[in-house]
Copies of this chain bind each other. A is one copy, B any other.
């Protein structure tokens, strides 16, 4: 029930930077004496430090405090074929970000070992003199409570692997695990386009389509942690068969995988000479080839992206009516088709949703790109660490 005074104070210092004690009291609605007592305790814990005196506002110059400069978090984002690890300070500024290719199908031992090595590398470089906690996003469903992947379709060998407990043991610090769309949504909230939005949807278009939901600025996970699983919402009862066994799911109409399938189809029929040549060269096509075709002015690629955007837009229109978000952010590996996609999604949403719900509803591309996941993962663990009563 509610946040502890410590958590409230540390979140304000994290998100607004150094503050005078008087300003802090106003911001968290606590008495001056309570703020001072809490800060003294947090200074002892090494979470907060004095940071000199502020400009005078008439009387004595007030003492300023900030998150202790030694506080450090690691934010990790595992993609289908990539590992990103960032070191941040206690205000979640990224100090260093390392990224490398690594196939998630190599399995949890190999991938988590590499995460630990990269954290060690950041430590050796001096970015992590201390590690207060680590957050990690995975490209599949996660049981947040248990810190394990839950039947993740593109992560063979990871099902119910103890990701949280393994990393906690290896690194000796608090760890939280969530799926990548949730941490990306948090990242945009922390440092991206969603900074001033509280109720928002982050839609990731990758191999599949997923959605991170923030309610009052916090991740909304639902009863079993599966909230945001929009890839199998039905778009058309008579639509194409989906891998899940149903007909007409969103992902059967539009996703990275669906786009690649459609591209191969129009390459084979000769409808798109551009994609036909590309297929002949490479033997297989990906969504990025559609982006290349679009950039080259290929009208068939334009049609494919438009149709995809329209189907995604129809689903989002329903979610806008239901959820009335203040912002929708589109992210994931869609660079290059973003502009056309966004126009189609907007048109479907604005046409189909109620005026009251679409008033001032911005529908935008992710601002942070690869940084969204690591910053969001760092924010997730900072929320836990800052809420802990003692350390």
Contact = CB atoms under 8 A, between A and B. Distances in A.
Interface of A: 1-3, 8, 28-29, 141, 150-151, 199, 211, 213, 215, 220-230, 232-234, 236-237, 244, 246, 314-315, 317-319, 321-326, 351-354, 356-357, 359-361
B29 A356 contact: no
Nearest to A4: B2
A222 to B, nearest CB: 3
Nearest to A359: B224
Nearest to A351: B246
19 contacts: A1-B28, A1-B29, A2-B2, A2-B3, A151-B356, A213-B322, A222-B357, A223-B324, A224-B324, A225-B324, A226-B324, A226-B356, A227-B322, A228-B322, A229-B321, A229-B357, A230-B318, A232-B321, A322-B322
Number of copies of this protein chain within its complex:
2
Given A1-B3, A1-B28, A3-B2, A224 B356 contact: yes
Contact of A352 (B229, B234, B353): B234
Given A229-B357, A322-B229, A222 B237 contact: no
B227 A323 contact: yes
Contacts of A323: 222, 227, 322-323
Determine chain A's interface SS by DSSP, over half rule: loop
B211 A322 contact: yes
Contacts of A314: 234, 237
Given A1-B28, A318-B233, A357 B8 contact: no
A351 B54 CA distance: 62
Contacts of A356: 141, 150-151, 224-226, 229
Given A221-B324, A233-B321, A322-B211, A357 B226 contact: yes
Contacts of A229: 321-322, 324, 354, 356-357
Given A28-B1, A357-B222, A318 B228 contact: no
| Among all A-B residue pairs, the 4 with the closest Cβ atoms | A222-B324, A2-B2, A223-B326, A227-B324
Contacts of A244: 354
A37 to B, nearest CB: 13
A356 B332 CA distance: 24
Contacts of A223: 199, 324-326, 357, 360-361
Contacts of A321: 226, 229-230, 232-233
A213 B232 CA distance: 22
Contact of A322 (B1, B233, B246, B357): B233
A325 B222 contact: yes
Nearest to A223: B326
A234 B318 contact: yes
A214 to B, nearest CB: 11
A236 to B, nearest CB: 7
A230 B1 contact: no
B199 A222 contact: yes
